[in-house]
Amino acid sequence: METGKKSMYLYQFTLELKNWQELAFVEEILARLQVKFQAKPLVPSNNQKALAALQKIAQRKVLATQIPDPVQWQRETRQDRLLPFREL
């Protein structure tokens, strides 16, 4: 290793903190050590919530009563169109 050159090491840590006071403490320590950091809160996934909402909609069966034959409905409503930059 050449003398006079600083080596940079990149690591990524995940911390689970109980409250904002712990976050403030960790940020203070990192600032004192002159460590660059970025704090990003984790947002819990709403997949289960979204799935429950879609299941609730499906249980209403509104579309099933409005569109009894989806294949026929698609044939009637779908219209072919010319694609850009293509000739027939």
pLDDT of residue 28: 93
Q: What was the pLDDT predicted at 59?
A: 87
Please answer whether residues 82 and 88 qualify as being in contact, where contact means their C-beta atoms are separated by less than 8 angstroms: yes
The two tokens of residue 26 are 């960790």
pLDDT tens for each residue of the chain, 88 residues long: 455 677 778 888 888 888 889 999 999 999 999 988 888 877 666 777 888 888 888 888 887 788 888 888 888 888 777 888 877 5
Give the residue from 36, 28, 34 showing the smallest Cα distance to 11. Answer: 36
Domain boundaries defined on the chain: 47-77
Q: What is the pTM of this model?
A: 0.39
DSSP H helical ranges for 1-88: 20-32, 47-60, 62-66, 70-77
